[in-house]
Amino acid sequence: MNTFARSWQHAVVTGGAGFVGSHLCSALLAAGTAVTCVDDFSTGRRENVSPLLEHPEFTLLEADVSEPFEVGRPPDLVLHFASPASPADYLRLPLHTLDAGSLGTRHALELAHRAGARFLLASTSEVYGDPQQHPQNERYWGNVNPVGPRSVYDEAKRFAEALSTAQAETYGTDVGIVRLFNTYGPRMRGHDGRAVPTFVRQALAGEPLTVTGDGLQTRSLCYVDDTVRGILAAAAHGLRGPVNIGNPAETTMLELARLIIELAGSRSEIRYIERPTDDPAVRCPDITLARDKLQWEPRVPVEDGLRRTIEWFRADRAADTAPGT
C-alpha cells in the first residue's frame, strides 16, 4: 500500500517538535500536506522544526495540549504525539506525562471530532510492561506495575488507548492507535535516557558505555524513517488497531553497546551499572498485523540506521544537551 494513499490537506501534529513528531512534520510537508505543529517545548527541541519555519504550509503553535487549544483551520488528520517519551523526561515530569496522556488526548480527540478528522494516537510498547508473552502481539494485555516509577508513562498511554477507543465507540470518531517500539535515529537527545543515544554519546566522547544489569535484556530497534512510514500507513489505512510498529529483529543491550563502539570507531569500554526498577527483560514486536493490513515492515538494517544516527550526533553537538536545559 502507498503510505500516502489518502491525500491529507491539513494535519495537526501534537508534540511535533519532538523526535518522532518532527520527522512526521517533515514527511507530511514533503507529501504536500499543510502541517500545524503543536508543542510546548517541555521536551521537544526548536532546532527540530526550525528548518520548516520558512515553509509556506508549516505553522508552529506553542501550546500545552493539556490545556484546550485551537488551530487556524480545520484539520483532516490529527496525530497525537505530545508526551514525554524517554525515561529522563517522564521521571522528571511525572504529572506532565500523565496530563499529556489524559487531558492532552482528550483535547486532541475533541479537535479531531469537531473537524471530522482521522485521529491517530502514538502509543508505545511500554503498554506491555515487563512482558510475559514474547514476542508481543496486540492481543496481549501486558504486565505493568501501576505504581512503579515507569507507571506515569505506561499508564498514561494505556489510559490514552482506552480513552481513544471509548471516543470512537461513543461518538464514531475515526480513531487509530499505533504502538511504537524503540524508535531511534537523528534528532534524539544524548541525555534522554534511552539506550541508543546514550551509547552513541558515550562512544563519541570516549566514555565507558553504561550497560545496565548483565546487558542480556533485549530491545528491538526501528529506524525513524521506517517508523514514520508505518505511522502514515496506519493513518491512511483507517485501521483502528492497536497495531505494533517496530522491528522484530531483537538485540541485547550488550550486543548493541559493542556494535555502537565498533561503528563509532571508539575505544570506549563497557561499564555495568544497576538495572532500573521494572526495566523490561525482553521487548520484541509481533508485526503480523502491520504486514497483513498495512503491507508495512521495516526496511533499514540496524547497522545502517546506527551509522546514520552516529554521523548525525557527530555533526549536531546540541543533541548532547541534558534534559530540562
Give 124-186 as a DSSP string: EGGGGBS-SSSSB-TT---B--TTSTTHHHHHHHHHHHHHHHHHHHHH--EEEEEEE--EE-T
What integer is the mean pLDDT of 64-84? 96
Which pLDDT belongs to residue 173? 98
Given a cut of 60, whether residue 322 has pLDDT beyond it is: no
Given a cut of 50, whether residue 1 has pLDDT beyond it is: no
What integer is the mean pLDDT of 251-273? 97
What integer is the mean pLDDT of 104-126? 98
Which pLDDT belongs to residue 37? 98
How large a percentage of the chain has pLDDT more than 70?
A: 96
The H-or-E segment that residue 218 falls in is: strand 218-220
The answer to whether 153 is a known catalytic residue is: yes
Given a cut of 50, whether residue 239 has pLDDT beyond it is: yes
C-alpha atoms less than 13 angstroms from C-alpha of 220 in its C-beta half-sphere: 25
Contact yes or no for 178/232 (Cβ under 8 A): no
Distance CA 29, CA 201 (A): 30
- Which cell goes with 165? 477507543
What integer is the mean pLDDT of 150-173? 97
Distance CA 160, CA 186 (A): 27
C-alpha atoms less than 13 angstroms from C-alpha of 244 in its C-beta half-sphere: 29
pTM, entire model: 0.94
Catalytic option among 90, 128, 140, 153: 153
Query: Domain spans of the chain?
Result: 10-319
Q: 223 phi and psi, to 5 degrees?
A: -65, 145
Q: What is the pLDDT of residues 37-55, one digit of tens each?
A: 999 999 999 999 999 999 9
List the Cα angle 263/265/266 in 5-degree steps: 110
Burial (CB count <10 Å: 0-12, 13-18, 19+), residue 9? middle
Which pLDDT belongs to residue 316? 78
Q: CATH code for 10-319?
A: 3.40.50.720
Rounded to 10°, the helix 19-30/224-237 angle is 60
Does 236 or 3 have the greater pLDDT score? 236
6 closest CA partner among 165, 176, 163, 164: 176
Which pLDDT belongs to residue 273? 95
